[in-house]
Amino acid sequence: MWQRGIKSAENNILALGFFDGVHRGHQYLLGEAYRLAQEEKAKLHIFTFYPHPRNFLSSEEVKHILTYREKYCLIQELFPQSLLQFVRFNKSFREMTAQEFLTLVEQEIRPRGVVVGENFRFGFQAQGDAQLLKNHLSFRGIEVTVVPSLREGGELISSSRIRWHLESGDLLSANRLLGYSFFLEGRVRRGKGVGRKLGFPTANLYPPSYKLLPTSGVYTGYVSGKEIGERNPSLIYVGHRPTVNFSPRRLVEVFIPEVSRELYGERLTIEFQAFLREEMVFPSLSELKNQIEQDLEALRITTEQSAISPFHHCEHGAERGEQATFS
């Protein structure tokens, strides 16, 4: 049964939602929940799902702005000591009625209070909404706080809107709505060494297939790691590498001008700041080298203009902590 493994949030404040990207709207909601938890001398218990529910509800594949590990690390940075529970969204969960979900919260999870967004829906075919949740649980002594959605320029700050900006290469807009620099993290894998032969050694990463990547091209940003320190200005490439060693799967390559040592096996955090140019096919390696030199000049200019202070997302090398559980 889907209930197996559900963790009790007894005497804690429960926040419900998928929270993909943990953007400014999510931060506002979770901030309210965190404040309530502190007032009650309780912990914030975040109840979220994997994979994305829309992947079950339609034929459309929805890529995640954050991997599960990235989401955990970012939430711990923002709301220390919070409990994060990932619950598998499967056929049984999809077919759960609204009443069954209410029973789950009331009898299995047993929170002191619940916090949701105004657009929260639950139950088969979204039968239940925030008002039903509030009416049902409040009657049973569980206070429910419904947090209004956050808007900018009259438009809702949403994960869908941020995905559109990322897929369009508009990192400035995406980062503004996220409230931090879009990032990915992972371990460096060995490549063919072509970049090193050109004088631009790169570190290669292959993010999980469910992780959303921005449109193919070259970006400016920063790379951090346990051995190389925080926020090294870098060129970031996303794409199929069409000029040499074509990759059927999109990969990420970073060139860190101030780092010359090999980084194989190290875990890096890559922060995207600005889109520089589209992916290109070069007729020769010398022309590719000339273009990279131009990209480096652009890097020197754009990194000086960074306006968003990023979080130091994951403690480099740390694995998923005891504050996160999967059910």
Residues 300-327: tens digit of each pLDDT: 887 766 655 555 556 544 444 446 676 6
Residues 24-50: tens digit of each pLDDT: 999 999 999 999 999 999 999 999 988
Q: What are phi and psi of 138, to 5 degrees?
A: -60, -35
Set out the domains of the chain in order of their start, with CATH numbers: 13-157 (3.40.50.620), 175-305 (2.40.30.30)
Helix ranges (DSSP H) in the chain: 24-39, 54-57, 68-78, 91-94, 98-103, 130-139, 159-167, 171-178, 194-198, 285-302
Choose among 14, 18, 46: nearest CA to 144: 14
CA–CA dist 327, 22 (Å, integer)? 21
CA–CA dist 211, 75 (Å, integer)? 17
CA–CA dist 105, 125 (Å, integer)? 18
Q: According to the model, what pLDDT value does residue 310 have? A: 55
CA–CA dist 246, 239 (Å, integer)? 9
Residues 179-221: tens digit of each pLDDT: 999 999 999 998 766 667 677 888 999 999 999 999 999 999 9
Residues 225-264: tens digit of each pLDDT: 999 998 999 999 999 987 777 778 899 999 999 998 889 8
CA–CA dist 200, 202 (Å, integer)? 6
Transcribe 256-312 into DSSP letters: -TT--S--TT-EEEEEEEEEEEE----SSHHHHHHHHHHHHHHHHHHGGG-------
- 51 preceded by cis ω (within 30°)? yes
Is 130 exposed, middle or buried (CB count within 10 Å of its CB: 0-12, 13-18, 19+)? buried
Specify the pairing of strand 113-117 against strand 13-16. Answer: parallel
Q: What are phi and psi of 242, to 5 degrees?
A: -70, -20
